[in-house]
Structure 1
Amino acid sequence: MRSKVCHGALRAVDCSAAREVPGVVGAWSAADLTDVPPVRPLGSCLAGPASPSLSK
């Protein structure tokens, strides 16, 4: 995805049109995947708080 606005913020994602395209197996946004657990940084030297797996 490309944006005309530098450092812009997405306010919403509508995947419905993508889901209707022939050959598309799936299209998801963070709102569709609410049960994905937070992730921690890889490696013991990068200890820190868990971060969301997907942007919201």
Structure 2
Amino acid sequence: MESARFTEASYKAANWIRVGQTKGRGKLDRYNQYALSVKDVYLYPLHRDYRSILDSPE
């Protein structure tokens, strides 16, 4: 989501979790020129106890 253009209200209402932002680089950026817009990254947990599953050392 481009935070300058969108409010992201639907993601927040549906309990998605904002985990960070992109740097605005495209996949073909070889010269570190940040030419694309910065976007927010959201994740949706598929398991109720996702934190303990991800934190387990298995």
TM-score by length of 2: 0.26
Q: Which has the higher strand share?
A: 2
Structure possessing the higher relative contact order (Cα contacts under 8 Å, 6 or more residues apart): 2
TM-score by length of 1: 0.26
